[in-house]
Amino acid sequence: MEAQSGQKRWTKRRRWIGLGAAGVVVVVALIATLAHPFGPHPHKAVARSDPGSHVAMPPIPPIRPLYGAIAVADNGAAGKTWGHRSRSQAERDAMRMCAHPSCQVLSVFTRCGAIAHDGERFHGGIGHSRQVAEHDARTRLGGGWIVTSACN
């Protein structure tokens, strides 16, 4: 009986030693993870993969601008268009919408464009907002009023 009781004590002791060793391993693993986290820093914006990262991220493609255009004829007919992937397509559509033999493209823009008129001449302007484009058109003309404007 005495041998069996001693054996139980050693078994219990081994369990406690194993449990203690496992606890030490878990604590060391947590400390290592917190000291050197895997992958990119959680608060760091990453556009490409970090050297320590195991995940390959494709590069972010550049944003393609959208084009717009405004065409005006001598008689005041106008055609405006926006949201085109190419400058030439925007110009063609503006000319098609103007639909007059004397139409000319006076403003090609990626943000906003405007046309000013002073009673004799027309002039185009561009800008990052409608107000800036209209101001640009009036300034380039040397006065006048806004006939039309458009933004992407």
Q: Please count the residues of the chain.
A: 152
Q: What single-letter amino acid sits at 145?
A: W
Which helix (DSSP H) or strand (DSSP E) does residue 79 occupy?
strand 78-84
Q: Which of 49-58, 72-81, 82-91 has the lowest mean pLDDT?
A: 49-58
Mean pLDDT of 74-91: 96
Residue 143 Cα distances to 26, 89, 125, angstroms? 77, 30, 12
pTM of the predicted protein model: 0.61
The residues spanned by each domain of the chain are 67-151
Please report the pLDDT score of residue 24 as a whole number. Answer: 80
